[in-house]
Amino acid sequence: MPCVADALTAGQAALQSCSETARLDAEVLLAKVTGKSRTQLFAWPDANLPETTVKAYEQLVAKRAAGQPVAYLTGEQEFWSLSLAVNASTLIPRPETERLVELALEYIHTHQATKVLDLGTGSGAIACALMSDRSDINMTITDQSVAALETATHNIKRHTNASVSPALGDWFDAVGDERFDLIVSNPPYIAVNDPHLTQGDVAAEPRTALISGKDGLDDLRKIIAEAPDHLHRPGGLMVEHGYQQAAAVRQLFQQHQFQNIRSFHDLSGHERVTAGVQP
C-alpha cells in the first residue's frame, strides 16, 4: 500500500514535464483527496493511503498532466487570504489582481465611497476581497455568465454577511442607468492571436473572459467610454490591464475626460492597473 511520500514522488514525476510547480501541484492534489492539509501530509510522510484514495489521486494527477488547472481540479483558489470557489466558467484569480483591490480600498477610504460596482465579476474575487475588508459598502456585481454570477454570489455569501446585488448582462447593460461612486473591473485584455492563450492554465480558462479583439483593448474601450454615464461626481474608475497596455489605457481615460489619471505597478514591477476620476 503506497504511503504519502510515495504518492507525492510519483505525482511529481508524472507532472514534471507539464508543470513548473510539479511538486506543489502533487501536494495540493493529494491534500484534496485525503482531506488533509499540506502540513499534515508533511508531518506523516509514511502514512499508508487507502486504495480508493490512491486511485482518486491518480485520476487528478492525470487530469493535471492533460492541462487542467489545479484550481479547477480542487474547485478553489486562494485570493486575498480567502479561499474562493472557482470552476470552468470563471477565470482563476491571480495575485496581480490584489493590487486592484488595494487601490480600490484606498479610494473607498479616501473618498468615502459607499456604492461600488464590480463589472464582469467572474468568481467574485475583487468584490469578495473588498467586502471582506469593508462590509459597509453597497456592492453590485455583474457578469454575462449565469454560472459565473452564481459562483461569485456563493463566494461573497461564504466570506461576508454584507448584502450584494448581482446583475446579469453585458457590461453596463446589466445596471441600466444606475450610478456608482467607484467602478472596478478586471476585463478580458488579451489579443486574439496572443501565443499565451495556448500556454499553461490560460489554455483551459474561458475564452470570453480572456480575449478582447485584435489588440486586447475592445472591452477596455467600451468600459472606459461608458463609465462616465454610470459614475456619481466625483466618481472613480479602476481597471486591470495587460503589462504592455498602460499607455494605451491612459490615453483612453484622457479621451473620455477622466482626471487624476495614473497607472500603478504590480509586485512584478509591471504597470497593471490604471485609475481615473470623473470630477
pLDDT of residue 214: 93
Mean pLDDT score of the chain? 94
pLDDT at residue number 198: 82
Band (234; pLDDT cuts 50, 70, 90): very high
pLDDT tens track for 27-44? 999 999 999 999 999 999
**In angstroms, how far apart are the furthest CA atoms of the chain?**
68
Q: Which pLDDT value is given to residue 98?
A: 96
Average pLDDT of the residues in 81-98: 93
Residues 6+ apart with CB under 8 A from 107: 113, 182, 236, 238, 275
Q: Does residue 37 share a domain with residue 170?
A: no
Provide the pLDDT for residue 208: 84
Question: In this structure, what CATH number is given to the domain that contains residue 46?
Answer: 1.10.8.10
Model pLDDT for residues 179-215, shown as the tens digit of each residue: 999 999 999 999 998 888 888 888 888 888 888 899 9
Distances 117 to 95, 157, 191, 238 between C-alpha atoms, Å:
21, 17, 25, 11
Please say if the pLDDT value at position 1 is more than 80. no
Q: Is the domain of 198 the same as that of 132?
A: yes
Decide if 196 is inside a domain.
yes
- The helices-and-strands tally (H runs, E runs) of the chain is 10, 9
- Dump pLDDT digits (tens) for 3-14: 999 999 999 999
Establish if 258 belongs to a structural domain.
yes
- Asked if residue 130 is part of any domain, the answer here is yes
Which residues are within 8 A (CB) of 177 and not within 5 positions of it... i.e. 6 or more apart? 229, 230
Decide if pLDDT at 107 tops 90: yes
* CB distance 95 to 81 below 8 Å: no
CATH of the domain at 112: 3.40.50.150
Whether residue 78 is contained in a domain is answered as no
- Is residue 84 domain-resident? no
The verdict on 43 and 154 lying in the same domain is: no
Q: Are residues 128 and 55 in the same domain?
A: no
225 in the same domain as 133: yes
Give yes or no: residues 113 and 12 share one domain: no
* Whether 74 contacts 37, CB under 8 Å: no
Q: Is the pLDDT of residue 49 over 90?
A: yes
Beta-bridged to residue 180, according to DSSP, are 231
Question: 135 and 31: one domain?
Answer: no
Answer whether residue 80 is part of any domain. no
Residue 96 has a pLDDT of 93
* Residue 34 forms part of a structural domain: yes
Report the pLDDT averaged over residues 174-182: 97
CA distance 178 to 231: 8
Q: Minimum mean pLDDT among 81-90, 220-229, 230-239: which range?
A: 81-90
Domain of 19 in residue numbering reads as 4-66
Whether 153 and 251 map to the same domain: the answer is: yes
